[in-house]
């Protein structure tokens, strides 16, 4: 009998711990702050005219560039994200009642279209490797952002924006049923 009570108590505590990570829950712990190096990359003002993701990829490797897109993915633990061209509509952008709980994944579009319209962005340190950080400051999935930096081609022939600045243009209003991943 005592063992059963202990198991129930453990299950209850585990359930409460799981709920404490729910971003919608009152009193939930705030995500960890971004590293100082990454925090310094947040731009205080709009960097000006920007090109879309597709146009940047078509232009190829170049010097300074400002690219605008929606945050499609944020790599946990690193200052890396993936931008989606604004010509692609995130799930629910047109029909807010479509019920999609993960609008940033563009699941309504074919994988080939998602690849063609996306661009990897890396904020690198002096070592040339992506900076580590628990979060990207002030940035959430689906945000419209402008990123400054240099467009390069990696060893595999993929375009990568080596970024040195990030400016959030807008944060869309999304339905209450959207369940944000922790840390965003």
Rounded to 5 degrees, φ, ψ at 56 are -65, -45
Give how far Cα 161 sits from Cα of 1, 23, 54, 175, Å: 61, 30, 12, 31
Q: Tens of pLDDT along 108-122?
A: 777 888 899 999 999
Q: Tell me, rounded to whole angstroms, the distance of Cα 80 from its chain centroid.
A: 8
pLDDT score for 50: 97
Residues 6+ apart with CB under 8 A from 100: 91, 92, 107, 108
User: Per-residue confidence of the chain (184 residues) as pLDDT tens digits?
Assistant: 444 343 333 333 333 333 333 333 333 445 678 778 888 899 999 999 999 999 999 998 888 999 999 999 999 999 999 999 999 887 766 666 666 677 677 777 778 888 999 999 999 999 999 999 988 888 888 899 999 999 999 999 999 999 999 999 999 887 777 776 654 5
CB 169 within 8 A of CB 145: yes
User: Which residue in 145, 167, 168, 174 sits closest to 23, CA to CA?
Assistant: 174
Strands 144-153 and 62-74: antiparallel
Handedness of CA 33, 39, 44, 47 (dihedral sign): negative
For residue 4, give both structure tokens. Answer: 């059963």
């Amino acid at each position: 009998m005592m063992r059963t009570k202990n198991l129930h108590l453990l299950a209850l505590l585990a359930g409460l711990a799981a709920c404490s990570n729910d971003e919608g829950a009152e009193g939930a712990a705030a995500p960890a702050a971004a590293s100082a190096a990454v925090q310094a990359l947040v731009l205080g003002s709009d960097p000006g005219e920007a090109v879309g993701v597709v146009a940047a990829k078509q232009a190829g490797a170049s010097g300074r560039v400002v690219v605008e897109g929606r945050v499609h993915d944020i790599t946990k633990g690193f200052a890396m994200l993936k931008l989606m061209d604004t010509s692609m509509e995130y799930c629910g952008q047109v029909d807010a009642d479509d019920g999609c709980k993960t609008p940033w994944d563009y699941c309504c579009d074919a994988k080939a279209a998602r690849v063609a319209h996306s661009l990897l962005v890396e904020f690198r340190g002096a070592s040339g490797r992506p900076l580590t950080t628990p979060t990207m400051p002030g940035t959430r999935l689906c945000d419209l952002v402008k990123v400054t930096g240099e467009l390069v081609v990696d060893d595999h022939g993929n375009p990568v924006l080596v970024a040195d600045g990030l400016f959030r243009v807008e944060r869309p209003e999304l339905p209450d049923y959207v369940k944000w991943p922790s840390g965003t």
